[in-house]
Amino acid sequence: MKSKKIAAVALLVSGLLIGTTVSALADESPAPTTSPSTSQSTYQTQLAAYKIAMTQYRVALVTNDINYRAAMAKYQSDWNTTMKNYWAAWQTAITAYRTANDAYQAQLAPIQAARKSALDAAGAAFLAATAGTQTNDALNAALTAWGTSTKTANATYKTASAALGVAPVRPIQPTEPVKPAAPVKPVDPTKPVPPIKPAPTPKPSK
């Protein structure tokens, strides 16, 4: 009976030792890793997609630059044309006014000269009539004659100038155009991020 117990204990101890050994061997086995060929294949696929994305990114940058420069050139050209048209219109208007006013003044000048001559003559006659010691009747007559002469000169001037028509009116220069806002530079696309190259797979320990 005692020998059977010893044998049973021996088997039990042996079983425990075997289990411990198997467990230890299992713990020392390397953990499963991704196959190097699979990682490299995935990286190459990502790298190819990255290269395509980078090409598209560069194309987008150049396209944005070309379009922006074209928009700026058109913007400046349009503004220059607007200002050129503005000043051309103003010069046309002011030139037309000056031409018309010069013609009007040329017609008005002799009428003004005639009025001045008539008033000067009336003034000279009045001074001559009132020089020295004059009677009250003579002074009154001089005043009447001066009043009649000046009234006639002014009336003649008014009639003659009215016959010329309304005097040209100087145009008011319009407000300069307001420069519009310049085109906004396009926002550059997001630069692609390159894939991470897989690390070399460590060699299994012996």
Residues 72-83: pLDDT tens digits? 999 999 999 999
Q: First CA to last CA across the chain, in angstroms?
A: 47
> pLDDT tens, 120-167?
999 999 999 999 989 999 999 999 999 999 999 999 999 999 999 999
- pLDDT greater than 90 at residue 195: yes
Helix, strand, or coil here: 25?
A: helix
Residue 44 region by backbone torsions, left for phi larger than 0, else alpha for psi between -120 and 50, else beta: alpha
Q: Which amino acid would we find at residue 196? A: I
pLDDT of residue 204: 66
∠ CA 195-197-198, rounded to 5° = 125
- Extents of the domains making up the chain: 43-163
> pLDDT tens, 181-192?
999 999 999 999
Distance CA 20, CA 14 (A): 10
pLDDT of residue 99: 98
Distance CA 184, CA 165 (A): 55
Phi, psi of 135 (to 5 degrees): -75, 160
> pLDDT tens, 91-110?
999 999 999 999 999 999 99
Distance CA 116, CA 106 (A): 16
